[in-house]
Amino acid sequence: MYQKMLVPVDLAHVDKLEKAIQTAVDLALHYKAEICFLGVGVNTPSDVAHNPKEFEQKLSEFAKSCSAKFGVTATASAHISHDPAVDLSKALVAKADELSADLIVMATHVPGVADHIFASHGGYVASHSDLSVFLVR
């Protein structure tokens, strides 16, 4: 049913993504699908990496470690943005199409008051993508 899943990850907060990653791994094992971890980084030094090349390398290492740990085929795709807070949602939808994914599995948060005014990234992706989107709380 699914052949390639896109899983957005924030390398600065991997500890908060355990449930979403495990969900993606379970689906990948069940459907014998590939997981593509997508990271959105910046051109400037950050807590994760000093430059885009280092960011891509760390994301690739993360995918390799998940592949070895869980026994799934995992790849990495880095998207560099000038302002990830603004570009993130649109970048996720565009990259899913570009990478020929057929499912997006992403972590989300419990909705709060601000979510009634501003769209969440998960809500935007689910509303604007033609793919199936699995939001994991």
Burial class (CB within 10 angstroms; exposed 0-12, middle 13-18, buried 19+) of 54? middle
Tell me the β-bridge partners of 5: 35, 103
Q: What is the total count of domains within the chain?
A: 1
- Report the CATH number at residue 14: 3.40.50.620
Predicted confidence at residue 113, as pLDDT, reads 44
Name 10's Cβ contacts closer than 8 Å, sequence gap at least 6: 16, 17, 39
Mean pLDDT by 10 residues, the chain (137 residues): 96 93 98 97 92 97 98 97 86 95 85 49 80 91
* Residue 85 structural domain: 4-136
Q: 3-class SS at 82?
A: coil
Q: What is the pLDDT of residue 109?
A: 58
pLDDT of residue 119: 55
Q: Is the pTM of this model over 0.75?
A: yes
